[in-house]
Structure 1
């Protein structure tokens, strides 16, 4: 792959010499007032050949870079080596004092939301199709409360709030997203000229990673910490049948993201700080969780190491992912040309910043967990940290109605064992 690119590039460069020689001969002929038609034809043919070689070299360069991008990052020594996600390693667990982590005969998250009159799945499916939904009243207020609390939480930790664009040009998306994502996760927006085609973002990590593309950052300015806020869009093409009911796995949702640009010497310390911030956030919500190290075979190409925070869902009786925290080291910053420091004459190679990302709060997923853990027979207790963001600052929201029998969500839900 490298040899054809270099060969085409070298051949194009060599033709410059031939073209220059012919041009000199043409000048000599014209000075002597002699016919130079044959030489002019020769020059035109050489220039056509050169143009073809340059185009060939450019095409091979694109192919080469695509091949290089298909090779993943170096895996950190602490990552469990396995292709089986059953071997993900639990690092630690936490639960509020007095709370037992166990499966309980309670309502599922979507049933709680239906009884609060906070969600309309039937009209959502009618308008959008599979996984469509409308949030209403308390569903809207609780979702927005998580957005506002998440932004305030990170701002108090020195993060700069950044509301990201919801679509990106293909060239930049290709530098930050994995190629598989284009088919399984991303929605494409066609805009006439293919050069203007855009992709809807699956996470604010994608546009924020490109925010400093082609820039030189100085060590004294690092770390740079962003609290990304965006609506996210995911096709979920590879998730058919998984979490088919409710709002845990949907095509559109809001998310607060931690994104950090770090000095290469300090990125693992920053990684620990990011997962610690996520843990503190979920402790403040009073949600039991475990932190797991993801096996090597399940890492995406960019991540050198990934920790997931999985919270407890008592109706389902299992931990489910709410947070993914990754150190991508210089994998993305190389493609985006985000340099670290000024290169000196003694430097042998370029130095790039390290890019790290971590979910703080994917609001619909976190809301699902709150609904299952904070329900009572009469309604929903409101986590203390969210109350000030809700109309009337309630500590309790009573149920507004009984469960309907023929909702799309009810039909999709396996019958609860009596």
Structure 2
């Protein structure tokens, strides 16, 4: 949710932000009108309510015909007050619904355009030349089957398309990644958290996942609960309706949880293997901070992601996402794309977003300073999305015999082993 002052004093800035996202500025015009209607209806209600209170005092003092007239007017006014109260509530609800639909304004220097208009910020590492090494690389699914690490047929049998089992060395590889990610996060000052994967509608709405992203969310109607697509949701709602002492900021959390996504609209895309699935596990970084610290901390989150990917010895690029490809809550986002040899291209493996005070306003998370209370800023960043990280490890570190070299950073969490080896 935006600062209401922006709507009243800088509506043109909001219109420009909508256009930068490729969306209609008409929403801002409707919001301006709704805000005026809401304030007008509240003023009308308060005026009638004030008159009602004044008449109540006059009735107590009046006598005879004057008192009878005042009582008649009081009865008429009671109906008018009730109607005005209902009108104010209706106008307020209409305004709130429009406010929830308005995205976070993007920063002025974010690249303009859509999904393909990102800016490459930096490149790290050099992809292997498999031809020079004398063999054709296998894709992650073929490797996973050779290693006894990935079982897609039984995943489909048990749960349907885009589900899988990680078995044997695959399961151990994920657990090693979780332990490495949590060890690094703790080293960087994050508090480890195991958050719930089911949340109330208020948490989903507060983080901006019930708007344009609603089609990708699993809902349990009988309980009115949602399966999270990222632990960002639970971590953002962790301090909802709380006032934090500014002296305790920033607060850094690292959450590990399963994530569920319907992948609506992805029919026919990435159907082979575990790149695009309905369930995966993820370690997510989340930060509450003072608004003036958000930019610096956003760069730090990106730095942590880069350090982690580099530790896994994966070639990757850092992209700044264009304005039209940002989610509802992000004012700026960076993605890290890891190299996938068999696809001959970089694919998204992590992202980090600066949500400014947008989510905090929706979730009512504030900080107390000497000057009073104000919303905090929130940021999020993927440290390790397990399935896609496993893909990049298998493909980039494979050997001609189907074995996979384990990056040195992971070896302590796999009993010192240097290779994953084919089974039977």
- TM-score range, shorter-chain basis? 0.7 to 0.9
The corresponding residue for 1:371 is 394
Rounded to whole Å, the distance in 2 between the matches of 1:344 and 1:16 is 33
User: What is aligned with 1:387?
Assistant: 411
CA 1:123–1:152 in structure 2 vs 1: closer, same or farther (change >3 Å)? same
C-alpha displacement of 1:341: 3.5
Q: Which residue matches 1:416?
A: none
| Contact 2:340/2:395 (<8 A) preserved | yes
Alignment partner, residue 118 of structure 2: 88
**Which residue in the other structure is 2:202 paired with?**
171
- Runs of 5+ in structure 2 lacking a partner? 1-33
How big is the alpha-carbon RMSD for the aligned residues of Structure 1 and Structure 2?
2.8
TM-score of the pair, normalised by structure 1: 0.84
> What is the deviation of 1:369?
0.9
Deviations 1:17-65 (A, max 9, x none): 3443554566568xx899x999888766754554454344333323212
Residue 260 of structure 2 corresponds to: 233
Is 1:7 matched up with 2:40? yes
Q: Which runs of 4+ in 1 moved over 6 A?
A: 36-42, 101-104
Deviation by residue 1:349-382 (Cα, 9 ceiling, x = unmatched): x643221111000111101111111222242222
1:407 paired residue number: none
**TM-score, with structure 2 as normaliser:** 0.83
Task: Confirm or deny that 1:70 pairs with 2:94.
Answer: no
Matched, 1:54 2:77: no
Conserved 8 A contact 1:101-1:288: no
Question: Aligned partners of 1:102, 1:324: CA distance in 2, in Å?
Answer: 31
Work out the CA distance in 2 between the residues paired with 1:185 and 1:62.
26
Deviation at residue 80 of structure 1 after TM alignment: 1.5
Is the Cα contact below 8 Å between 1:216 and 1:342 reproduced in 2? no
Q: 2:166 aligns with which of 116, 135, 156?
A: 135
> Does the 8 Å CA contact 1:259/1:355 hold for their aligned counterparts?
yes
Per-residue displacement from partner, 1:173-230 (whole Å, max 9, x unpaired)?
Answer: 21112443553221112236xxxx2211111111111212233333322211111111
User: 1:308 — aligned with what?
Assistant: 335
Do the aligned partners of residues 187 and 14 (structure 1) sit closer, same or farther apart at CA in structure 2, a change above 3 Å counting? Answer: same
User: How much has 1:288 moved relative to structure 2?
Assistant: 0.6
Following the alignment from structure 1 to structure 2, what is the Cα–Cα distance between the partners of residues 287 and 182? 30
Q: C-alpha distance in 2, partners of 1:155/1:328?
A: 23
1:222 to 236, 249, 270: 249
What secondary structure sits across from 2:334 in the alignment? strand
1:308-387 paired onto structure 2 within 5 Å: 308-342=335-369, 344=371, 351-376=374-399, 377-387=401-411
1:20 maps onto 2:43 in alignment: no
Matches within 5 A, 1:280-299: 280-299=307-326
Tell me the distance in 2 between the aligned counterparts of 1:112 and 1:55.
64
Does the C-alpha gap of structure 1 residues 43 and 140 become closer, same or farther in structure 2, counting only changes over 3 Å?
A: farther
Question: What SS does structure 1 have at the residue aligned with 2:211?
Answer: helix
Q: C-alpha separation between the residues in 1 aligned to 2:403 and 2:89?
A: 63
Task: Give the equivalent residue in structure 2 for 1:408.
Answer: none
Distance 1:378 1:124, change over 3 A: closer
Q: 1:228-254 CA deviation, whole Å, 9 max, x = no partner? A: 111111111122222112111111111
Distance 1:17 1:353, change over 3 A: closer
Take 2:89 and 2:130, find their aligned partners in 1: how far apart are those partners? Answer: 58
- Secondary structure at the aligned position of 1:277 is classed as helix
